[in-house]
Structure 1
Amino acid sequence: MKTDTISAEGIDHIDRIEDALQAIRRGSLVVVVDDEDRENEGDLVMAAEFATSAAVAFMVRYTSGVLCVALPGERLDALCLPLMVPRGNEAMQTAFTVTVDCRHGTTTGISASDRAITIRALVDPRASADDFNRPGHLFPLRAMPDGVLERPGHTEATVDLCRLAGLRAGGVLAEVVNDDGSMARLPQLIAFARQHGLPIVTIRDLIAYRERMHDTVAGACDALAA
């Protein structure tokens, strides 16, 4: 299913959600695009547990450089990371928490190596609140409990993709920009994904994928109950 808000010339260049999940499982990056009538932006996304210095450096080079880590609320609560602003007035209601750096194995926290360490630590079940300095250079984001079915944002899409891939529920994301610093839109995002051999998928297709999964599970439960 392709969204009618994606321009006709772009539809044929959008990959399947299954392609993105395979890439996520391999520790690769994917490009995730929201609707043209929403932010109309694309984020580089990868599973947090696979973050490396090379991947972070790539993200910094081709994005705004502001790296976020999308996490479920229960993980953020366990790490004692409250919202940066309790009732923000930002248009998209992006749920930023206080920023962090990992205390162990890092220096200033800003290098690609340091940020990769912090990203991995945020989804490491052995890490606790005491393992992080506040403030820091990574921006955790609080995902809505029901993912893209509740909010069609990049935060929720990142957590959903990691969960659907069978990985820890958390991923790093950053917004792709053009060489002049302007935000990359769909034609540029498609060209970027093809240039670097990355899958490109839409949040609308992820919503449809999750809805199909829900219908399949519900149908199986009904059959067992019959």
Structure 2
Amino acid sequence: MTGAAGVAGAAGAGDAAGAGDAAGVPPVTDPGAAADTAEATGASSIEAALDHLRQGRPVIVADDASREDEGDVVLSAELATPEWLAWTVRVSSGFVCAPMAAEIADALDLPPMVAHNEDARGTAYTVSVDASAGVTTGISASDRATTLRVLADPASVRDDLRRPGHVLPLRARPGGVRERNGHTEAAVDLMRAAGLRPVAAISEIVADDGEMMRWPGLVALGARDGVPVVSIAQLVVWLDERDRQG
């Protein structure tokens, strides 16, 4: 895996663009311009991102500058490995969440974390979990990879998870990014588009100065470690075009 074993954080990429960089994610609004926009801004194609996800490798997904203006590492939960979880923790806040289709959360008996959600973006956190078997404290990259794979396993049941834990599942809206343009829905939509189980792992990327990494830094990080970088706006256009083509 390119860069995973030896990366010691977002060094270099974080230097390229820290929190003070005002350049946000470029808009992509029509299919005809999508490829040109991606090439001009350093973004990868959605197809490249899907290919990486199918290989169990991460991608970086950025939202709009008018929203959070942040980038998240996105991984397939069913293909999660300790190596890529460790890389994710090194370049991010280390706060690993697991977006999933709502029906999977229901099947695993993962209720909302609170009765009244006061999160500014309406992020649908459930109770936190660890795998019931095959983990120690639950916090290591290996343990969290195990928990993610349990969450994604169609054979898993409620008792395969213990509560609380060190992975935070998130319930995605049924309409995906076209209902809510957040990283939760983007991650689940990407899994579905890749033909994978609709459960992902995400974590917000942080620059060396401790602030959230913006678009230029995300592109630099992706180039350094061979990780595709795409935007939620790109994904919306790609999904719309796919649906039009049938």
TM over 0.5: yes
SS at match of 2:78: helix
RMSD across aligned C-alpha pairs, in angstroms? 1.6
- 1:181-220 alignment, distance < 5 Å: 181-217=210-246
What secondary structure does 1:190 align onto? helix
Q: SS of the counterpart of 1:107?
A: coil
2:100 and 2:198 in contact (8 A); partners too: yes
Return the alpha-carbon distance in structure 1 between the equivalents of residues 161 and 105 of structure 2.
12
After the TM superposition, which parts of structure 1 deviate over 3 Å for at least 4 consecutive aligned residues? 8-11
Q: Percent identity?
A: 47
Give distance in 2, aligned partners of 1:24 and 1:11.
23
The 8 Å contact of residues 69 and 170 in structure 1, kept in 2 or not, is answered as yes
* 1:89 corresponding residue in structure 2: 118
Cα pair 2:28 2:233 within 8 Å, conserved: no
Deviation at 1:87? 2.5
Structure 2 unaligned spans of 5+: 1-25, 30-36
Contact 1:30 1:46 in 2 (8 A): yes
Tell me which of 121, 132, 135 is aligned to 1:106. Answer: 135
Q: Does 1:176 align with 2:200?
A: no
Give the C-alpha shift of residue 11 in structure 1: 4.3
| CA deviations over 1:130-151 (Å, ceiling 9, x no partner) | 1111000000000000110111
Q: Deviations over 1:205-224 (max 9, x none)?
A: 1001111122122xxxxxxx
Give 1:39 shift.
0.3
Name the TM-score, length of structure 1 as normaliser. Answer: 0.91
* Partners of 2:180 and 2:64 in 1: CA distance: 12
Q: Does 1:128 align with 2:160?
A: no
Q: How many residues align?
A: 214
Q: What is residue 62 of structure 1 aligned with on the other side?
A: 91
Report how far residue 90 of structure 1 moved: 1.4
Q: Matched residue of 1:110: which SS?
A: coil
Q: Which amino acid aligns with 2:217?
A: Q
Contact 1:10 1:187 in 2 (8 A): no
